[in-house]
Amino acid sequence: MENADIAAALASPDLDTPCLVLDVARLDANLARMNAIVARLGVALRPHVKTAKCTRVARRAFGGGTGPITVSTLREAEYFFADGFRDLLYAVSIAPAKLPRAAKLARAGARMALVVDDAGSAQAVASAAVAEGAAFDVLIEIDADGHRAGLKPGDPRIVEIARALDAAPGVRFAGVMTHAGGSYDRVGAAALRAHAERERDAVVQAAAMLRDAGLPCDTVSVGSTPTLTFAHDLTGVTEARVGVYVFHDLVQSNLGVCGLDAIALSVLATVISHKRDTGRVIVDAGGLALSKDHGTAKHAIDYGYGQVCALDGTPIAGLRVVEVNQEHGLIAAADDAGAQAMFERLPIGARVRVLPNHACMTAAAYDAYRVIGERGLEVWERCNGW
């Protein structure tokens, strides 16, 4: 669609606000960029579908087909499996009570890979595999940067757990994985490239330790959008798990991972009130529609709860959602002159698009995307919940 057609479609009163708008041209550009990156690095792509939670987005990453994916909930696993995705990595340490549900997918034909960082959890997975008559692949989570979960690269428990898994019936010890979430505290190409090396080194070191102990380690998995974007050399790594790259967001822009014009996701909102005394234009997209994620709060550019754009997607300089209540978003300009222009440009009833701080959190408030594609607006469904 041309810009003028996009603006006309999004202005239609048939479209209720707030709603979630996805720009397919930007999505496709983001997918192509990451495909080129992983091809250059020589690693397989296992996209993390937690961001889009949408099989149509994931299929686009594979040229229309399916491929290996990473999931953050068993509901995602079930939803993607039902649409033909067979190779599933549930990348959250498995709670023992979730094993029967995961086993059901494995029995139905999924390659179900689970993650552990604890000997007891590994034992629970092995026991469930036998009890449920299901085959699980199991990865050990490695802690690359102290961000969240996992065992540190040199921890002797890595070998102990792998050995126990390797000897257990019903499970296959498949390798190691890490998520360098600390990359979100790094800004710019040099810092993120260094963090990508740290992420790589953590799993490659763990894999070497396992192989030295005579154990297999087929999978050596890394993944975060900031590290993958700037990784220079992933020798020893087999696959990349990246999620938010499909949409990007203001946090990624602030980290230097993308430009504002790569952000494929926005919230369509309608102006509902003018508060000239406080310098605020109020829209009907608040904390639920935008999320309360203030991920840019400590960045060089604090976007509040979102950057305001015209309907064709062009950012309106200086206009940000500075405060949110449940169903109210308060937009302010950078200065008095900007405020005057804002009130003139955005009368009550006018619509804007708001770029989100954190695409994963914002998208989760919606059941579907309104997709700006070649053939006008389409509806693509999402899979929320657990």
Which is nearest to 382 in space by CA: 357, 364, 361? 364
Which is nearest to 217 in space by CA: 209, 225, 207? 207
Residue identified by tokens 């222009």 is 341
Residue identified by tokens 């070497």 is 208
Shortest Cβ distance from residue 121 to its own copies (Å)?
Answer: 6
d(CA 50, CA 35): 18
Shortest Cβ distance from residue 22 to its own copies (Å)?
Answer: 17
Shortest Cβ distance from residue 39 to its own copies (Å)?
Answer: 27
Q: Which is closer to its own copies, CB of 191 or CB of 365?
A: 365
Q: Which is closer to its own copies, CB of 159 or CB of 189?
A: 159
Shortest Cβ distance from residue 233 to its own copies (Å)?
Answer: 27
Shortest Cβ distance from residue 141 to its own copies (Å)?
Answer: 8
Q: What angle is formed at CA 236 by the lines to CA 232 and CA 237, rounded to 5 degrees?
A: 75
Q: Which is closer to its own copies, CB of 41 or CB of 265?
A: 265
SS3 of 172, please?
A: strand
Interaction site with its own copies (CB under 8 A): 13, 16-19, 50, 72-74, 92-98, 100-101, 117-118, 120-121, 124, 141, 143, 146, 148-150, 152, 181, 270-275, 277-278, 282, 284, 287-289, 291-294, 325-328, 330, 347-349, 358, 360-361, 364-367, 384-386
Q: Which is closer to its own copies, CB of 12 or CB of 235?
A: 12
The answer to whether 112 and 105 are in contact (CB under 8 A) is yes
Shortest Cβ distance from residue 50 to its own copies (Å)?
Answer: 6
Task: Please list, residue by residue across 147-181, b when 16 or more beta carbons sit within 10 angstroms of its beta carbon and e when fewer do.
Answer: bebbbebebeebbebbebbbebebbbbbbbbbbbb
Q: Which is closer to its own copies, CB of 9 or CB of 288?
A: 288
Q: Which is closer to its own copies, CB of 146 or CB of 214?
A: 146
Give 34's contacts (C-beta < 8 A, 6+ positions apart): 45, 61, 228, 229, 242, 245
